[in-house]
């Protein structure tokens, strides 16, 4: 009798430890047409939209290198309109590439580094409570986090041929998580930095053979144990992808889990995709800069898809 009970106990242990929750993503390759989606053109002022976040019923975005040091709030219904401009009064836009947010702060990543030469990588941030939604224009004062990669020794000009470009950032578990855009390897490295002023090293957590250039990232909690990471990017041949993966919230490494890879299309058809924002675990939106690719052109746009 004891032997039988032991067998059933061991069997129950195997079943519990080997089964994952049913909602977790499985390894699969899909295409955009497999899902329901809707796409809207964005105003001309957002022609080079890069970062993307959603707060309440509206989105926040900005333009990348050379754009004004401004964040634009815009509606989520067609036709899309800009409803507020937030000026970062003590910041400049060398190459803004990504936006992230916590419950308390909004973060802007000025760390685009196509040439591999930058030694002034930084993240601006300010309290979300400082946004006065009743104003069409306002200014905010920001604090600054500066960082560097301990692994980078060569700062010479390397046009699209190095592994220290960066366009992806999320806030999670009281840290900022960075995902590199690697022109040399087509991998991505996952780094973390702390929310402290001044200059600090970015600490390497993991690397993953992504096989495309990471241009935007977002994360959403699924429950108290799991979270979902979304990443967008493209290949040098113009194929545009979204990668989704689920990970344990307590895990240090996030990328070595089953993934859903969605082929969004060709750059000439969908634009230069550089922003991503979850609405909830079943709905995600991405933004694209205007682009002319080969014999096709696509205006700047916002596309939302249902993952159900």
> For 94-131, what is each residue's pLDDT tens digit?
999 999 999 999 999 999 999 999 999 999 999 999 99
Taking residues 232-237, what's their average pLDDT?
Answer: 97
Domain limits at 198? 27-306
Is 267 a member of any domain? yes
Q: Is residue 198 part of a domain?
A: yes
Residue 16 maps to a domain: no
Closest CA to 87 of 138, 26, 36, 162: 138
Q: Is residue 15 part of a domain?
A: no
- Judge whether 6 lies within some domain: no
91: three-class secondary structure by DSSP: coil
In the predicted model, what is the mean pLDDT of residues 254-266? Answer: 97
Q: Phi and psi for 12 in degrees, rounded to 5?
A: -65, -35
Of the CA atoms within 13 Å of residue 280, those in its CB half-sphere come to 6
Residue pLDDT, tens place only, 48-77: 999 999 999 999 999 999 889 999 999 988
Note the pLDDT tens digit of each residue in 175-203. Answer: 999 999 999 999 999 999 999 999 999 99
Residue 108 belongs to a domain: yes
pLDDT digits (tens, 9 = 90+) for 157-170: 999 999 999 999 99
- Nearest alpha-carbon partner for 72 in 83, 80, 57, 56: 83
Asked if 140 and 87 touch (Cβ cutoff 8 Å), the reply is yes
Query: Number of folded domains in the chain?
Result: 1
Q: Residue for token digits 């899902």? A: 35
Q: 3 by DSSP, 3-state: which? A: helix
pTM: 0.93
The C-alpha atoms of residue 209 and residue 288 are separated, in whole angstroms, by 24
- Judge whether 141 lies within some domain: yes
Q: Is residue 22 part of a domain?
A: no
Please report, for the domain that includes residue 91, its CATH number. 2.115.10
Q: What is the pLDDT of residues 132-142, one digit of tens each?
A: 999 999 999 99
């Amino acid at each position: 009798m004891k032997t039988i009970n032991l067998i059933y106990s061991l069997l129950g242990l195997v079943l519990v430890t080997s089964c994952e929750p049913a909602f977790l993503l499985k390894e699969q390759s899909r295409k955009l047409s497999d899902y329901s989606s809707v796409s809207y053109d964005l105003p001309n002022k957002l022609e080079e939209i890069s970062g993307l976040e959603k707060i309440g019923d509206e989105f926040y975005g900005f333009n990348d290198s050379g754009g004004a040091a401004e964040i634009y709030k815009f509606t989520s219904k067609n036709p899309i309109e800009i409803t507020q401009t937030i000026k970062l009064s003590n910041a400049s836009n060398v190459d803004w590439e990504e936006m992230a947010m916590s419950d308390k702060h909004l973060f802007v990543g000025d760390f685009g580094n196509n040439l591999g030469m930058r030694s002034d990588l930084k993240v601006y941030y300010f309290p979300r409570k400082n946004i006065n939604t009743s104003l069409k224009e306002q200014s905010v004062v920001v604090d600054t986090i500066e960082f560097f990669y301990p692994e980078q020794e060569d700062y010479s000009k390397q046009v699209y041929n190095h592994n220290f470009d960066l366009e992806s950032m999320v806030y999670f578990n009281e840290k900022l998580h960075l995902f590199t855009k690697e022109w040399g390897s087509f991998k991505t490295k996952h780094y973390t930095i702390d929310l402290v002023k001044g200059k600090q090293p970015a600490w390497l957590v993991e690397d993953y053979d992504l096989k495309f250039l990471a241009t935007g990232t977002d994360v959403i909690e699924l429950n108290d144990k799991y979270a979902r990471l979304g990443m967008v990017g493209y290949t040098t041949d113009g194929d545009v992808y979204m990668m989704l993966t689920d990970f344990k919230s307590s895990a240090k490494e996030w990328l070595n889990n089953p993934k859903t890879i969605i082929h969004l299309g060709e750059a000439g058809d969908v634009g230069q995709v550089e922003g991503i924002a979850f609405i909830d675990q079943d709905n995600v939106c991405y933004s694209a800069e205007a682009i002319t690719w080969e014999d096709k052109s696509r205006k700047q746009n916002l596309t939302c898809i249902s993952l159900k």
